[in-house]
A and B are shown apart, each in its own frame.
Chain A
């Protein structure tokens, strides 16, 4: 099973699109402490139902909360980028600490850094496509998730996702 590390963007998009549950059954999902703080704890203030859903996954052991210690490799890369916040920084440190396979994000600034340093990543759209391709989501479920993802992704990315999903049907 692939081990993936979420940043807040990846976690929120998978949740809002409605396929986070499926993702946690398919991958070993790691949640950096910083992402837990800025997304899960903060959600309890603004979106309590969202916080409850995340906490349930954590309690069930399907989202694994992990603290990232300093990782010299990550810190070297992060020293060159002022664009990132604590969530993405925590995700990168945890990626190296846990020897994870992918970072899950669709954050443009973070993707730029990951691509530049050839760090493997998965976007929520790509995860959705993968779940459908593996028949872990029905056609209707995948199309519904793509619609929910639509306002949170670029138009060109949505169109590409729709075409690829239709190509599977």
Chain B
């Protein structure tokens, strides 16, 4: 679901949206949404990597499946999964 939100957007980001709109042949709003979504993906992947959200939560936040989130992390080269310390704790526990 999409909801209208009033936002103050800096000029340089609007220029970037213009550039993207021309290059991708989409309207400016679509270009801005794409930029916003890419930022959201990067942010959620960072949270996932740090263990601040789980895979299932990350998937829900991005409206993707857990599988797609794993694929996205691999494509972006983001390390995911438990740390070695956690793995060792599991062995000794």
Given A38-B65, A83-B54, A153 contacting B93 (CB threshold 8 A): no
Shortest distance from the beta carbon of A39 to any chain B beta carbon, whole Å: 6
Say yes or no: is B67 at the interface (Cβ < 8 Å to chain A). yes
Contact assessment for B89 and A84 in the assembled complex, using a CB-CB cutoff below 8 Å: no
Residues on the A chain within 8 Å of B56, using CB: 7-9, 34, 38, 84-89, 107
| Partner-contacting stretch, out of A65-73, A118-126, A137-145 | A118-126
Contact A152 B54 (CB under 8 A): no
B48-93 interface (Cβ within 8 A of A): 48-60, 65-68, 70, 73-74, 79-84, 86-87, 89-91, 93
Find out whether the CB atom of A83 lies under 8 angstroms from the CB atom of B53: yes
Interface flag for A1 (CB, 8 Å)? no
Establish whether residues B66 and A12, one from each chain, have CB atoms under 8 Å apart when the complex forms: yes
Among the stretches A21-29, A56-64, A155-163, the one at the interface with B is: A155-163
Chain A residue numbers with a CB within 8 Å of B90 are 111, 115, 120-123, 126
The answer to whether B93 and A120 touch across the interface, beta carbons within 8 angstroms, is yes
Measured between beta carbons, the chain B residues less than 8 angstroms from A160 are 84, 87
Within 8 A of B (CB), among A96-144: 105-112, 115, 118, 120-123, 125-126
Contact of B81 among A8, A39, A46, A157 (CB under 8 A): A157
How far apart sit A105 and B55, CA to CA, in the bound complex (Å)? 10
Chain B hits for A55, CB < 8 A:
none
State how many angstroms separate the Cβ of A126 from the closest Cβ of chain B. 6
B residues within 8 A CB of A87? Answer: 54-56, 66
Residue of B51, B59, B90 with most partner-chain A CB within 10 A:
B90
A residues 36-66 near B (Cβ < 8 Å) are 38-39, 42-43, 45-47, 50
A to B CB contacts below 8 Å, 19 in the list: A7-B56, A83-B51, A84-B56, A84-B57, A85-B55, A85-B57, A85-B59, A87-B56, A88-B56, A107-B81, A108-B51, A109-B53, A111-B82, A115-B93, A123-B90, A152-B74, A154-B79, A156-B84, A157-B83
